[in-house]
Structure 1
Amino acid sequence: MPENIATTDVVIAGAGPNGLLLACELALAGFHPIVLDRLPAPSLEPKANGLAGQVARVLDMRGLYEAFSGNVGAPVPVPQYIFGGMPLNLTAVEPNPVHLVLKPQPEMVKILTERATDLGVDLRWGHALTEIEPAADGVTVTVSAPDRTYRLAARFLIGADGGKSLVRKRTGIEFPGITSNGHVARTGHATVPAELRTGDGRIEIPGVGTFGMGHHRRERGIFVYAELQPGRPLVGTVEFEGGEQYSDETPMTFGELQDSVERVLGTPLPLAPPTWPGPHNLRRTVGQNTRIAEHYRSGNIFLLGDAAHVHSAMGGPGLNLGLQDTVNLGWKLAAVLRGDAPEDLLDTYESERHPVAERVMMYTLSQAALVSPGPEITSLRTLFGELMQLPEVTTYIANLLAGSDVRYDVGDDHPLSGRLFPDAEVETESGPTRIAELLRSARPLLLTFDGAADLADTAADWADRVTLIPVTGPRPPAAAMLIRPDGYVAWATDAVTPAAPDGLRAALERWFGAALDRTGVRH
Structure 2
Amino acid sequence: MNETRDVVVVGAGPVGLMLACELRLAGVDVLVVERLTAPDMTIKAGGINAPVAQALDRRGLEPQLRAAHAAAMARMSGIFAKPTPVTDTETTAPAAPRRPRAGGHFAGIMLWADRIDSEDPAFADLGPAVESRFVDQQSLEAMLAARAAELGVPVRRGIEVTGFHDDGVGVSIDCGEHRIRASWLVGCDGGRSTVRRLAGFEFPGLDPEITGRQALVEMTGAENVALGWQTTPTGIFVNGPQPGRILTVELDGPPADRVTPVTSAELEDSFERVTGVKVSISKVITATRFTDNTRQVPDYRKGRVLLAGDAAHVHSPFGGQGLNLGIGDAVNLGWKLAAVIRGRSPESLLDTYTRERHPIGEWVLDWTRAQVALMRTDPRSRALRTVITDLLDTRDAATLVAQKLSGVQHRYDLGSDDPLVGKATPDFELADGTRLAEHFASGKGVLLDLTDSPALRAQASPWSEHLELLATKPAQPREPLSMLIRPDGIVAWTSATPHGLDTALPRWFGNPA
Instruction: Please tell me whether residue 322 in structure 1 is matched to residue 326 in structure 2.
Output: yes
Instruction: Please tell me whether residue 132 in structure 1 is matched to residue 164 in structure 2.
Output: yes
Alpha-carbon distance, 1:6 to partner: 1.8
Instruction: Judge conservation of contact 1:65–1:71 (CA < 8 Å) in 2.
Output: no
Instruction: Judge conservation of contact 2:414–2:422 (CA < 8 Å) in 1.
Output: yes
Alignment equivalent of 1:284, drawn from 275, 280, 289: 289
Question: CA deviation digits over 1:67-123, x for unaligned, max 9?
Answer: 2341799xx9x8611112111134423244776633443332222112111101111
Instruction: Judge conservation of contact 1:453–1:470 (CA < 8 Å) in 2.
Output: no
Question: CA deviation digits over 1:143-193, x for unaligned, max 9?
Answer: 12xxxx121111110000111111111111100111125x22112112356
Distance between the aligned counterparts of 2:471 and 2:244, measured in 1? Answer: 49
Alignment equivalent of 2:493, drawn from 477, 491, 497: 491
Which residue matches 1:44? 41
Distance between the aligned counterparts of 1:356 and 1:99, measured in 2? Answer: 23
Higher strand share: 1
* Runs of 5+ unmatched residues, structure 1: 197-203, 275-279, 516-521
Distance between the aligned counterparts of 2:217 and 2:279, measured in 1? Answer: 11
TM-score normalised according to structure 2 size: 0.87
Which residue matches 2:81? none
Instruction: Please tell me whether residue 9 in structure 1 is matched to residue 6 in structure 2.
Output: yes
Evaluate the alpha carbon distance shift between residue 307 and residue 115 of structure 1 in structure 2; reply closer, same or farther with a 3 A threshold: same
Amino acid at match of 1:226: G
SS in 2 for 1:363: helix
Alignment equivalent of 2:372, drawn from 368, 375, 397: 368
Alignment equivalent of 2:270, drawn from 260, 271, 275: 260
SS in 1 for 2:206: strand
Amino acid at match of 1:373: T
Distance between the aligned counterparts of 2:280 and 2:171, measured in 1? Answer: 55
Evaluate the alpha carbon distance shift between residue 477 and residue 26 of structure 1 in structure 2; reply closer, same or farther with a 3 A threshold: farther
Aligned counterparts, 1:61-460, within 5 A: 61-70=58-67, 80-90=103-113, 91-93=116-118, 94=120, 95-96=122-123, 101-144=133-176, 149-181=177-209, 183-191=210-218, 196=223, 204-205=224-225, 210-212=226-228, 215-228=229-242, 232-241=243-252, 243=254, 246-269=256-279, 271-273=281-283, 280-285=285-290, 287-427=291-431, 431-460=432-461
Instruction: Judge conservation of contact 2:227–2:241 (CA < 8 Å) in 1.
Output: no
Distance between the aligned counterparts of 1:255 and 1:272, measured in 2? Answer: 10
Evaluate the alpha carbon distance shift between residue 164 and residue 194 of structure 1 in structure 2; reply closer, same or farther with a 3 A threshold: closer
Instruction: Judge conservation of contact 1:426–1:432 (CA < 8 Å) in 2.
Output: yes
What is the root-mean-square deviation of aligned Cα atoms in Å? 2.3
What's the % identity of the aligned pairs?
Answer: 40
Alpha-carbon distance, 1:140 to partner: 1.0
Distance between the aligned counterparts of 2:511 and 2:396, measured in 1? Answer: 43
Evaluate the alpha carbon distance shift between residue 195 and residue 47 of structure 1 in structure 2; reply closer, same or farther with a 3 A threshold: closer
Instruction: Judge conservation of contact 1:236–1:257 (CA < 8 Å) in 2.
Output: no
Question: CA deviation digits over 1:459-514, x for unaligned, max 9?
Answer: 11211211101121123355111111111100111x22xxxx24111111110013
Instruction: Judge conservation of contact 2:222–2:277 (CA < 8 Å) in 1.
Output: no
Instruction: Judge conservation of contact 1:425–1:435 (CA < 8 Å) in 2.
Output: yes
Amino acid at match of 2:321: P
Amino acid at match of 1:284: R
Distance between the aligned counterparts of 2:54 and 2:438, measured in 1? Answer: 11
Distance between the aligned counterparts of 1:470 and 1:387, measured in 2? Answer: 46
Distance between the aligned counterparts of 1:104 and 1:410, measured in 2? Answer: 32
Instruction: Judge conservation of contact 1:99–1:402 (CA < 8 Å) in 2.
Output: no
Distance between the aligned counterparts of 2:289 and 2:222, measured in 1? Answer: 28
Distance between the aligned counterparts of 1:168 and 1:421, measured in 2? Answer: 33
Distance between the aligned counterparts of 1:505 and 1:389, measured in 2? Answer: 48
* Runs of 5+ unmatched residues, structure 2: 74-100
SS in 2 for 1:383: helix
Higher helix share: 2
Which residue matches 1:201? none
Aligned length: 474
Distance between the aligned counterparts of 2:480 and 2:415, measured in 1? Answer: 17
